[in-house]
Structure 1
Amino acid sequence: MATVARGWRLAAACFLLLAVLALKGVLIQPPAVPEHVSASEFDTGRAFARLKRILGDQRPHSVDTAADDAVRDRLMAEISAIGLKPEVHEAMDCSGFPKSRTVSCSRVRNVIAVIPGGNSPALLLNAHYDSTPTGPAAADDGIGVATLLEIAAHLRSEKLARPVILLFNEGEEYGLNGAAAFAESDPLAKSVGKLINIEARGVGGPAFMFETSEPNAVPISQFKAATARPFANSISTDFAKLIPNSTDVVKFKPQGWEFLSYAIIGNETRYHSPGDNLGALSQASLYHMGSAVLAASRELAGADAPPSDGRSLFMDVGGWSLVTLSILAGAILLALLAFCAAVLVIRRRAWRPTLGMAIAVVSGTVAAGAVSIVLGFIRAGDYWRAYPWVTTLAVAATVLAVQAWLVARWADHHDRSQMRLAAWAVVILFGVVASIALPGAIIFFVIGPTLALIGVAVRPRSQGWCRGLSWLGAGIQLVILTELIAQIELTLIDGPVAAVAPLVALAALPILAEVGRGQSRRGVGLVALAALGLWIGAMLMPRASAERPLAFTLDHVQDERTGKAVWAAATKQAPMPEGFARFGPWKPGPLPYNKRVRWQAAAPRLDGPRGALTVIGEAADEHGRLVRVQLDRGGADGILLRFDEKTPVLAMGLPHRLQMIDKHADKGPSFIRCSGRSCDGLKVDLLFGEAMPVTAMLVVQRFAPPAQAAALLALRRKTAQSQYSPDSQVHIQAVKL
C-alpha cells in the first residue's frame, strides 16, 4: 500500500505543478491603481485624460500625415497647458537598421520640451507619438506620451541636478526616423547623458524594464533603488538582441548614453491593430508604467552615481523585489556549483541517475515539441491565440507525463539521495549551457541549486536539513522559472508554443526526484490523460475572441509585370473563414515583395495608385555606379523600391547622406522605402557595385482597400481585425535604372 501511495504522490505532485503553472499570471500582475494619490505621485486619471484628448477620434496617425499633424497640435497644447514651451524640430531622415538591407525614409517633426536643471548632462525621456497606419496606438506609444506628460507636470516644479529633455518623436513606427534625426542632427543630443525610453508591444501587463545600457551595473543599481514594484531580468537584454522588434534605443545606443528601456507586452494580439485603443489600454499598466518611470526619472535626474564598468545579473521575484548579482560573482558561483555537483556525482556514484535525469528533461521537451508540431499541421496557425494558457498547460502536462514516468523508472533502481543529487546536477548543467548563449540566465540557476547542493553535501550528517534545503531550493526554482514561463508566454504569442517546455522540465525535475518512487503507472497515466484533454481543448477552443482578436488583413495586389491581380489575406496561416470559397480557390504563398505567406485568390484588375520613379542623375563612382532618382507616390500613401538579392546594392539614402548596407546583413533583397506626403518629389541616391543597368520592383501602397473589397471584408469574422498593416491596395511595376 505504501508503494502505491507513493505512486499516487507522484501524480499529485504533477497536478500541483500544473496548478502552479495555471496560476502563473499572478506573478506578472501590475499593481492596482490606488484610489487616492498624493500630489507627488503619478495620477493615472489625469494622465489618461490627457491621452484621450490627444488621440481625439482615435484614427490611425502614421508619420507625415494630416492625422498626425492633428495629434501633434493637440500634444503641443497639452505640453503648453503643463507650463512648458514645446518646439517642433523638423528633419527628413533616411536611415537603416543594423544587420538589415532596408533603408526607411520619412519627414519627421519631433516635439521637444526642456525642463531646466543643473549643469550635469541632461536626462532624455523618449516616447513616440505616431502610430502605424493600422490603429490609434493608445498603448504603442500612447502610454509613453501620457507617462511623459504626467512626469513633466511633476518634474517642472522640482529641483533637478540636470535638465530633463522630453522628446516626443515621430516616425518610430516606420523606421525609427525621429530617433535617428534627433541623435544625428539635433543640437540638444550633444547635451544628453542619460535616457529613459518607453515602448509597448501590447495593451496590458506590468511595465517591464527590458533593456539597459552596457555595462549595466550603474543603471541597474539606480533602477533597483527607485522602483517599488520592479519587473525585470537580465535574460531580457540578451533576448532583446534575438527578436526582430526594434525600438528607438537602436538609434540612441551609438551615443553611449546610460539608459533604461520600459515596455508593456500583455495581449500582443492588439498590437499594431485597431484594437490598440483607449478602451483596451489597461489603467493598471498605465499606472505601473507611470509610477515606475517617474521614480526612475527622479533617480536619474539626481546626482551622478560613481561610474562602473561592471555588469549585473538581475531578476525580480513576482514584481516585489529585485535580486542582483555581479556577473563575475554569478559566473564563479555557477562554475563552483558545476564543479561540486560533478565531484558529488562521481563520489556517490550517481552518474547513471544523472544521465537518466538528463534524458528525462530532453525526452519531455522533445515530446512536447513533437506533439505541438504535429497538431500544428492539423490546426494551422496560432490556434492558441485566444486562450494561450490552455496550450501552455498542454505543453507542460506533456512534459510532466513523460518526465515523471522516466524519473519513476530510474527511482526504482537508485536511492532518493542519488536521485536528488542527479536532479540538481542536471539543473546546474542546463544552467551552464543556457548561460553560454544568454549570460543573463546565470542568476536563474544559482540560488535554488546553491541551497539544494548544500543540503545534498550535508546528507550524511542530517537527513532533515538535506530534505529541507532541497525542498526550499526546489520551491525557489519553481517560482522563478514559473514567472519566466509567464513572461515567455506573453512574448512569444506567435510561437513556438513549446518554447516553455525546457523551463517546465527544469522547474519540475527536483520535485519529481523527491516523490518519484514506487508503482506510478496509474498516476502517470492520469497526467498523460490530462495532457490529452488539454491538447483536445487547445484544438477545440476558438482561436480568437473579442478580447484577443484574430489577425486578418486583406490586400488587393496588382502586378503590372504579369498583368495579374490577386486578393491577398494575411491570417498568420489560419484557414480562411467560411464564405470566402466563392471568391476562391485560395492558395497560400508569398507576395512578390514580401516573404510573409498570404492566402491568395484571383482578383479583378482595378484602377488604383500608380507610383513613378524618374532617373535625374547618374555618375561613375569608385565603387561602381551612383544613380539619383526622384519618387512619386501617384496617390498612394507609401512607396517602396525593391532590388533582388543579385543586385549589388552598396548604399542608399538622401543625396550626400548615403546609408551603407551593413556587411553583416543576411543575403536577400534590398529595399528603400518612404511613407508620407514628403515622399512626392523626394530625391534619393542609390549606389551599385557595378556599372550595368539594373531592374527593380516599384511598389506603392494605399492604406485603404478598394471599394470592390467590401464583399470580402463583410465576411471577416467579428473577432478578427487587420494587424501590422491595414487593409490596402497595392500596385507593382518594374522600373529600369
Structure 2
Amino acid sequence: MKQRVVWFVAAMVVAVVLAIMATTPPAPDTATSNPVEPSTERAFAHVERIAAQPHPTGSTTNAVVRDYLVGELEAMGLSVETVSGTLDEAGQAKLDYWRDKSSETPTEFVNVIGVLPGADPTLPAVALMAHYDSVWGSPGASDDAAGVASILETVRAIAAAGPVERDIVVVLTDAEELGLVGARQFFGENPLAERIGAIVNLEARGGGGVASMFQTSPGNAEVARVYARTVDHPSTSSLATYIYSVLPNDTDLSAALDRGGYAAFNIAFIGRSGLYHSPLSTPENLDRGSLNQMLGQTHALALALANAATLPRETGDAVFFDAFGLATIVYSPWIGWVMLVLGIGGYALAWWRRDRTERGFVSGVGRMAALILVGGVLLYGLNLVSGAGTGAGYYDRLAAIPKLTTMALLVVLGLAVALWGRGTTGFAQRSGAATLIALLAIAGQAMAPTAAYVIVVPVMLIGIAAAVRSLADDRWGRLAAAIVAALVTGYMLSLGFQVMQGVGPTMPYGAMLPAAIGILCWLPLWPRIPQPHIVAIVLLLGATAVALWVRFDPVPPSVAAYSPLKPG
C-alpha cells in the first residue's frame, strides 16, 4: 500500500506540473537592444498608448489612437491609407445603446491599412489583422490593443531585418465590436483583399492566459504543419477548432473565411476572463506573458509565411495539439484508428493473460457511467444554484470562472472518492471503466476524428500500460501506469481548465469527460482512502458552498460599463 501511495503522489505531482506548463504563457522577455528581434517591452509601450482610455468607434479617443497607428506604421516604412465607411443599422443601434442616446446620422468607422513591400509584389501577400476599437467604457488593453501592439512590433522587427519575399499587409480594423463592420468592408470591397494569400488574426477575451491558435481556415493540414514547425511556445488544438466551428462566435477572421481562399490562423487568449470588455482592462492589468506569447507566435508566423516559397493550401483537415506548450503534434485523422487498435489490443492482451473469471466488469462500466452522468447532472444543478440561467449577467459570470472551476473540481473529486475511494478496483472493474471510454473514443473517431484525439490518445496509452503491466513484473507495471497517469492527467487538467475558461459559466458539465479520462488513468494506482463516503460528502458540500458563494457574491467592479449588472 505504501508503494502505491508513493507512485500515486509522484505521478500526481508530475501531472500538476505538466498542467501548469500547458496553461501558463512564457515569461515576458527582458529588454533587448537587437532591432531585428521582437520585444515584449516595445509591444507593451504600444499597449500603453492605445489603451490609455476607452476608444469606441466614432469617439475622439479612437481618432487619437488611429493617428498614432498611422504615424507608427509610416515611421516603419509602410505605405498607409485610411478607408472609412458608416455603420450599418445593427452596429449603430449597438453604439447608441452604449451611449444611451440616438444618433441623427450614421457614425463613421475608419480602417487603417498599411503595406510593407516585399521583394516580389506579384506573390500573394500575408495579412496581419487586429481591431483597434474598444467597447464602451473599456480601455481594451487586451481586446484588442494587445493584438494591435503585437502586429506593430512584428512589422517593426521584420522591417528592421530587411525585405522579405512577400508583401505584408497590416489590416487594423475599426468597428469590430459593433459587428465586424470594418472587416466586412475590407474583405467585401477593398482590392487589397484579392492580393492576400494568408492571414494571421489576433484577438482576446480576457486579460491573460496562453495565446492559442483556436481557429484555422478549412482544410487545415498544411496550416497546422506550418504552425508546428514555426512556433516555439505553441498552444493549439484541433479540438478547439472543431468546437469553435460549431459555436455561433465570430471575430474579424469570419469576414475573411466567408470570402474564402485564405490560409488562416486565429490566435487569442481567454484567461482572466473577468477582464473581458471591462473598465479594468488597463495596460497595468494585462498579463505581459500573454502579450509575449502572442507577439512571439505572430512574428514567427509572419516571418515564415512572408518568406515561404508557397503558402499553405486547402487540403484535408489534420489532428493537431500542443504537448504541454513544448511542441505541436500533427497527424492525419486515420491514424486515430491505429491508436484505437493499439489501445484496445493492449487491454485485450492484458485480459487474456489474467484470470478471466474475475468479476467486476459490469461494475466498472456502471461506475464510469455514473461518474460522467451524475457529475454532469450535479454540475448542471449547482450551476443553476450559482446563478446561471435566465437573467444571469454575462460579465458577472465570466468573473466567477475561477470559483466555478473550483466548484467543478470539488464535484469531480467527491464523486471519484465516492465511487473508488475504497481502493479495491480489480482489473475486471478497470476494464469495464475503460470499455465505456473506448466506446466513446470509437464514436468520436467515427463522427469527429479531428476532435476525438482527446479520447483516442488516452485509450491508446492506457491500453499499452495495461499490456506492459500484464507482461512485466509489478514494479515496471506500476511505472508504466504512473507515466501514463501523469501524461494523460496533466493534459486533462489543462483541458478541463480550458473548458471552464471557455464555457464554464454556462456548461461546466463539459469538464466531466476530461475528468473521467483522467480518473481512468488513476485506477491502477488508486490508494485506499479512510472514510471515503464522509470525504466525498465533505467535497460535494464544499462544491455546493462555492456555488452559493457565486450566487450571493456582489457584482464585481470588472463587469462591462454597459452591462445591465454594472456596479452601483
Same fold judged by TM-score > 0.5? yes
Equivalent in the alignment of 1:399: 412
Amino acid at match of 2:559: A
Structure 1 residue aligned with 2:371, among 332, 347, 364?
A: 364
Q: Distance in 2 between matches of 1:70 and 1:350?
A: 77
Cα–Cα, structure 1 residues 95 and 189, in superposed 2: closer, same or farther, change >3 Å? farther
Equivalent in the alignment of 2:117: 116
What pairs with 1:41-80 in structure 2 (closer than 5 Å)? Answer: 41-56=37-52, 58-62=53-57, 64-80=58-74
Cα–Cα, structure 1 residues 570 and 96, in superposed 2: closer, same or farther, change >3 Å? closer
What pairs with 1:524-535 in structure 2 (closer than 5 Å)? Answer: 524-535=533-544
Larger strand proportion of the pair: 1
Higher-Rg member (1/2):
1
Q: Distance in 2 between matches of 1:276 and 1:408?
A: 44
Equivalent in the alignment of 2:138: 135
Amino acid at match of 1:525: I
Query: Is contact 1:396-1:501 (8 Å) kept?
Result: no
Structure 1 residue 551 corresponds to structure 2 residue 559: yes
Q: TM-score, structure 2 length as denominator?
A: 0.84
Query: Is contact 1:325-1:443 (8 Å) kept?
Result: no
Q: Distance in 2 between matches of 1:228 and 1:23?
A: 17
Amino acid at match of 2:493: T
Equivalent in the alignment of 2:151: 148
Query: Is contact 1:400-1:505 (8 Å) kept?
Result: no
Q: What 5-or-longer segments of structure 2 have no aligned partner?
A: 92-105
Q: Deviations over 1:53-80 (max 9, x none)?
A: 3344x03322x34432232122212222
What pairs with 1:430-469 in structure 2 (closer than 5 Å)? Answer: 430-435=440-445, 438-457=448-467, 460-464=470-474, 465-469=476-480
Structure 2 residue aligned with 1:184, among 181, 188, 198?
A: 188
Structure 1 residue 314 corresponds to structure 2 residue 320: yes
Q: Distance in 2 between matches of 1:219 and 1:350?
A: 50
Q: Deviations over 1:609-660 (max 9, x none)?
A: xxxxxxxxxxxxxxxxxxxxxxxxxxxxxxxxxxxxxxxxxxxxxxxxxxxx
Cα–Cα, structure 1 residues 407 and 215, in superposed 2: closer, same or farther, change >3 Å? same
Q: Cα offset for 1:399?
A: 2.6
Query: Is contact 1:213-1:260 (8 Å) kept?
Result: yes
Whose relative contact order is higher, 1 or 2, with alpha carbons under 8 Å and at least 6 apart? 2
Query: Is contact 2:11-2:483 (8 Å) kept?
Result: no
What pairs with 1:571-650 in structure 2 (closer than 5 Å)? Answer: 571=565
Q: Cα offset for 1:49?
A: 1.7
Equivalent in the alignment of 1:470: 481
Q: Cα offset for 1:246?
A: 0.6
Amino acid at match of 2:27: A
Query: Is contact 1:354-1:426 (8 Å) kept?
Result: no
SS at match of 1:259: strand
Structure 1 residue 35 corresponds to structure 2 residue 30: yes
Q: Cα offset for 1:26?
A: 4.7
Q: Distance in 1 between matches of 2:201 and 2:293?
A: 15
Q: Distance in 1 between matches of 2:266 and 2:357?
A: 45
Q: Distance in 2 between matches of 1:51 and 1:374?
A: 41
Q: Distance in 2 between matches of 1:444 and 1:171?
A: 37
Query: Is contact 2:417-2:532 (8 Å) kept?
Result: no
Q: Cα offset for 1:82?
A: 2.4
Amino acid at match of 2:201: N
Q: Deviations over 1:422-457 (max 9, x none)?
A: 343333223334445643333223444323323433
Equivalent in the alignment of 2:267: 262
Query: Is contact 1:129-1:168 (8 Å) kept?
Result: yes
Q: Cα offset for 1:458?
A: 5.2
Q: Cα offset for 1:30?
A: 0.9
What pairs with 1:491-530 in structure 2 (closer than 5 Å)? Answer: 491-515=502-526, 522-530=531-539
Query: Is contact 1:79-1:149 (8 Å) kept?
Result: yes
SS at match of 2:277: coil
Query: Identical aligned pairs, as a percentage?
Result: 26
Q: TM-score, structure 1 length as denominator?
A: 0.66
Structure 1 residue 289 corresponds to structure 2 residue 290: no
Cα–Cα, structure 1 residues 229 and 354, in superposed 2: closer, same or farther, change >3 Å? farther
Aligned length: 540
Structure 1 residue aligned with 2:496, among 466, 485, 495?
A: 485
SS at match of 2:450: helix
Q: Cα offset for 1:321?
A: 1.8
Instruction: Please tell me the root mean square deviation across aligned C-alpha atoms, in Å.
Output: 3.6
Q: Distance in 2 between matches of 1:124 and 1:272?
A: 26
Q: Deviations over 1:25-72 (max 9, x none)?
A: 45311111122433332212222222323344x03322x344322321
